[in-house]
Amino acid sequence: MVVDEPAGRPRFLAALTHGAGGTPDTPDVLAVRDAARGLGAVTALVTQPYRVRGGRAPGSAVRQDAAWAELVAALNDRGLPLVQGGRSNGARVACRTARQVGAAGVIALAFPLHPPGRQGQPGKSRDGELRAAGTRVLVLNGDRDPFGIPEPDDATRVVVLPGETHALSRNPAAIGEAVASWLGMLPGLDSRPPSVSGQAPPR
């Protein structure tokens, strides 16, 4: 786990994680981290326990979600507003646990709507996980993603990035811009600007 503090008073916590078998240092996750840092967030790049143990697959979703919720609780001992996110399987975890951890928002990178080639097959859609987040969600998917692209709704903004596959590696700048814009309008975050002196500005 890599935690970075802002120069001034933190406005919120951004907890970000990887896809199945991956690490949290992919270009898309780092673009989200940098956008959040620019807005005064404490950022945490989280390697999930199954990966720390050397596993390639997350296994039980129940155990994975419980481990994530425990990690987030330990990270956020200051009670900061929480934005959580991840790519692919990590996006699913962030959506599934958002209600439990009280997230103000979720950033879902390359949300895997269905396994490749399984669109429309009964029991294969992960759309229910996305809709159950219970908070605002920003989805960023490539237009060439074989895992599909979710539809937007009142709580879910979907940004489709041209020329991108599931990796979301070609244009991190576009990801950062979309994330910064969305975070800037997200209800529930501390709207006061961060103080470079470390002292909170007057209310």
Beta bridge partners of 83: 14, 105
The 10s digit of each residue's pLDDT in 83-124 is 999 999 999 999 999 999 999 999 999 999 998 877 766 678
Note the pTM of the prediction, 2 decimals. 0.91
Domains and CATH numbers, the chain: 10-52+65-115+124-184 (3.40.50.1820)
Percent pLDDT > 70 in the chain is 92
- At 57 the pLDDT is 83
- At 58 the pLDDT is 83
Polymer length of the chain: 203
The number of C-alpha atoms within 13 Å of 31 and in the hemisphere containing its C-beta is: 22
- Report the run of H or E that residue 187 belongs to, with start and end: none
- Report the run of H or E that residue 43 belongs to, with start and end: strand 41-46
- At 196 the pLDDT is 44
Instruction: List, for the chain, all residue ranges whose pLDDT scores fall below the cut of 50.
Output: 193-203
Q: Please work out, in degrees rounded to the nearest 5, the angle formed at the alpha carbon of residue 140 by the alpha carbons of 135 and 144.
A: 145
CB atoms within 10 A of CB 127: 13
- At 202 the pLDDT is 37
